[in-house]
Structure 1
Amino acid sequence: MELDVGRRLKSVRNATGLSQRQLARQAGVTNGLISMIEQGRSSPSIASLKRILDAVPMTFSEFFADDGPDVETFVHRSDELREINLGAALDLSEEAADLLSLRQVGNASRHTIQMLHEVYSPGADTGPELYTHKGEEAGIVIEGQIALTVASRTEVLGPGDAYIFESSKPHRFHNSFTERCVIISACTPPSF
């Protein structure tokens, strides 16, 4: 089941008691953008959606979380990882949606760390705009290559290479290579 981003955003906005205009002002985006997203007539960039969710405040993992059973466990099988596929959730074409997959271990709202299994197919990108969020993140490239931009510096990482940085610095991941890239990452506190 795909998430209806517009319906979910409207529900979150109403739950916080904000008008479209108030949310837009707090997020630093236009009222028209909020309206278009809620009507399903526009898909926000990752950076725009992040600004909107920061104004609520809410993390990506909370926004895209399913309402599955509230069971506490310490083991999460591969097929139980929660998909936070931003491409699919943002109503992109099927081809574009398949380029980026973020699978979360457990329910990040119950922990002080968020762990992800990330897969970037060739051409996958977190968006042309660099984004920020609170906390720190770290990861290890397991397979393939990824271009990571933090602030104004871009580095290419390959298998075994790792990164760690303050997530408040603008950043972006982009796979401009011919093979998929797999990363195991963590963010603390859970804010992505």
Structure 2
Amino acid sequence: MEIGPRLKAERQRQGISLRKLAEQVGVTAGLISHIENGRSQPSVSTLYALANHLGLSLDEVLGLNPQAPPRRSAERRQVVQRAAKHPTLHIASGVTWDLVVASIAGTVDAVRVTYEPGASSSPDGSPMRHDGQENAYLVSGSLVLMLDGRRHVVRAGDSLSFDSMRPHRYVNETDEPAWGLWLNVDRGREPTISG
């Protein structure tokens, strides 16, 4: 998915300069420019920081329209979303997000998250914090969750839940991909998701 142009359009719509946004998010203006122009993919932590600072939901970052009124008619509502139609976001450092169900009742997005071997939510090792409640079920593989400086090994079949404002980071230290289903509820806006 081309997230850069969406981030750029929202930054410009809000009248925020590259330098100001970079300063507020804690990255370089050059990195934001590269992301906005599609020359670089952000890490999970940088994407969260940019989206949260700009007030964007995951739907908006992926180019979906969360502002559209919910469809009431069962005939007009899409019941099955085919696998090939799931919006996919490839993030720097070997992390992939597949939006498998968008805006459940306007409060939650279900995201299949895959961490390739060696992948990390933050390549530089810094923890991330963002609005919402982090909820996940790991289907396959193993991940290390660093939460508040404590190390937790999460294995297939394990689940987790915590306030996303707590400093956290995910790392796949194994030779096998790890993937699971993330259901993140965003408390920062009228309930939308930031997954």
Q: Same fold (TM over 0.5)?
A: yes
Q: Which amino acid aligns with 2:115?
A: Y
The match for 1:73 among 71, 78, 88 is 78
1:50 match: 48
Q: Does 1:119 align with 2:117?
A: no
**Distance apart, 1:167 and its partner CA:** 0.8
Instruction: Name the one with the larger strand percent.
Output: 2
Scaled by the length of structure 2, the TM-score of the pair is 0.75
The match for 1:150 among 147, 150, 164 is 147
2:173 match: 176
1:129 match: 126
Aligned residues: 178
Scaled by the length of structure 1, the TM-score of the pair is 0.76
- Pairs within 5 Å for 1:1-192: 2-3=1-2, 5=4, 7-35=5-33, 37-38=35-36, 44-65=42-63, 72-87=77-92, 99-108=94-103, 111-127=106-122, 128-189=125-186, 190-192=193-195
Instruction: Name the one with the larger helix percent.
Output: 1
Relative to structure 1, the CA distance from residue 35 to residue 153 in structure 2 (aligned partners, 3 Å threshold; closer, same or farther) is same
Relative to structure 1, the CA distance from residue 156 to residue 163 in structure 2 (aligned partners, 3 Å threshold; closer, same or farther) is same
Offset from partner CA, 1:103-135 (integer Å, 9 cap, x none): 112333972011111222211211122111111
Tell me the percent identity.
29
State the distance in 2 between where 1:107 and 1:57 align. 17
Q: Which amino acid aligns with 2:97?
A: L
Relative to structure 1, the CA distance from residue 147 to residue 14 in structure 2 (aligned partners, 3 Å threshold; closer, same or farther) is same
State the distance in 2 between where 1:55 and 1:109 align. 23
Relative to structure 1, the CA distance from residue 110 to residue 27 in structure 2 (aligned partners, 3 Å threshold; closer, same or farther) is farther
2:72 match: none
Relative to structure 1, the CA distance from residue 159 to residue 26 in structure 2 (aligned partners, 3 Å threshold; closer, same or farther) is closer
Q: Which amino acid aligns with 1:83?
A: T
Q: Indicate if the aligned counterparts of 2:143 and 2:178 stay in contact, CA closer than 8 A.
A: yes
**Distance apart, 1:44 and its partner CA:** 4.1
State the distance in 2 between where 1:20 and 1:116 align. 29
